[in-house]
Amino acid sequence: MLMANANIYLTLLLLLTFLKWGQSASNYVHDACSVTRYRALCIRTLAPFSSSAKTSPSKWARAGVSVTIGETKKVAQYLLKVKKHREMRGRYRIALSDCIECFQNAIDELHSSLGVLRNLSASNFYSQMGDVTTWIVKLESSLTITK
């Protein structure tokens, strides 16, 4: 389920940054989520941002990344609890530790992306989006390996 959530928000991040929208905020979230695999989940999760994001691709991208950070933190916290409260030994404990590390790295990459999205500038836009794209691809790769 985390990969599904991550893919939804990451897809939004990349698409919303480059697409222009000329509709009301409520239609905007529906249109933005129409390109995702889990449309209902996307709409339900991002609908609360409609009034603040309106038609700003930058705000929608930040909302998607913020939600993804929150969901990724929840998974990392759960995995840490499992590691602390369960009897795990040997390779299972090592695998769980690796998985936790992947999620912690993902959170760092998402925070880096959010920082860039908060400070976009016209003069450095393509460089900044290149950085965000690199971090997102790296994030997707590390979470895919975790599957």
**What's the whole-number mean pLDDT along residues 127-134?**
85
- CA dist., res. 141 & res. 77, Å (int): 21
Least confident of 76-80, 100-104, 120-124: 120-124
C-alpha separations of 145 from 98, 102, 111, 138, 140 in Å: 10, 9, 20, 11, 9
Sequence-distant (6+) residues with CB within 8 A of 100 are 76, 79, 80, 83
**111 pLDDT higher than 90:** yes
Matching residue, tokens 């409260």: 85
pLDDT at res. 88: 76
**Top-confidence residue, 87 or 3:** 87
**Cα separation, 94 vs 74, whole angstroms:** 20
Residue 60 CB burial class (10 angstroms; 0-12, 13-18, ≥19): buried
Position 72 scores a pLDDT of 92
Question: What pTM did the predictor assign?
Answer: 0.74
Asked if 4 contacts 38 with a C-beta cutoff of 8 angstroms, the reply is yes
pLDDT of residue 127: 87
Q: What is the pLDDT of residue 26?
A: 60
Residue 115: alpha-carbon gap to chain centroid: 13
Per the model's pLDDT, the better-predicted residue between 96 and 140 turns out to be: 96
The per-residue pLDDT for range 21-79, each reduced to its tens digit, is 444 556 778 877 777 788 898 889 998 988 787 777 788 788 889 999 999 999 999 99
In this predicted structure, what is the pLDDT of residue 39? 85
DSSP helix/strand/coil, 139: helix
